[in-house]
Amino acid sequence: MNLSHSWREEVSNYDSKEIDKYIKAVRKEIHKLDKKNEQLELQNNEQNIHYVESFMRVYEKTIVEQAKDMEKLLTEIKEVMCSKEYLHGKKDHYEKLLRSERFTDLIQKIRRIKEIKIEMYDFLKTKGDSAPLQLIMSELSLENDMENDPSVVSLCCAEIFGCSWSK
């Protein structure tokens, strides 16, 4: 009885369509796994491995050097730009100094020194006294405008003539 009952149960539980669906699903999964294996095989095949190894052998040193150079260039660019910003600030400061009242006043004093030199020379020449004229020209090097020192000229004029040469 047991045997007859079990075969009847098994036969009644048998579903041909369900088993066909299961077989179809398993075949589909096997097909997917085969495709993945093919992709892995393509990715890891010897030709690709050889290509990558060859690329590394040929270009590794170059790439490492290029990376170092690029790092240096990045640092240099940053430094140059910082310097440029700093120098622009300095240039602005320089231009501000050139326009300052203090500098303008000094330039006017230099021009006045040149005028005084000419006045002194003309004055001494008209008086016919060449000794003080030679002294001023030689000891103070007044023939070179760049060497004029207003304090020396004023001191010399005060000692020689006992007067001030301001207008």
User: Each residue of 4-43: pLDDT tens digit?
Assistant: 667 777 777 788 888 889 899 989 999 999 898 888 777 6
Domain holding 140, by residue range, is 101-161
The count of domains in the chain is 2
Of 40-49, 50-59, 95-104, give the lowest mean pLDDT range: 40-49
Q: Quickly tell me which residue has 């006043």 as its tokens.
A: 105
pLDDT at 62: 93
86 within some domain: no
Does residue 109 lie in a domain region?
yes
The whole-number pLDDT of residue 112 equals 93
More confident residue, 151 or 15: 15
Residue 167 C-beta-side C-alpha neighbours within 13 Å = 10
Is 135 inside any structural domain? yes
Whole-model pTM over 0.85? no
pLDDT for 151 beyond 90: no
Determine, yes or no, domain membership for 39.
Answer: yes
Residues 158 and 152: beta-carbon distance below 8 Å: no
Percent of the chain with pLDDT over 70: 72
144 with 103: CB under 8 angstroms? no
- Residue 37, domain member (yes or no): yes
Is residue 79 domain-resident? Answer: no
CB atoms within 10 A of CB 35: 10
Q: Give 162's pLDDT tier (boundaries 50, 70, 90).
A: very low
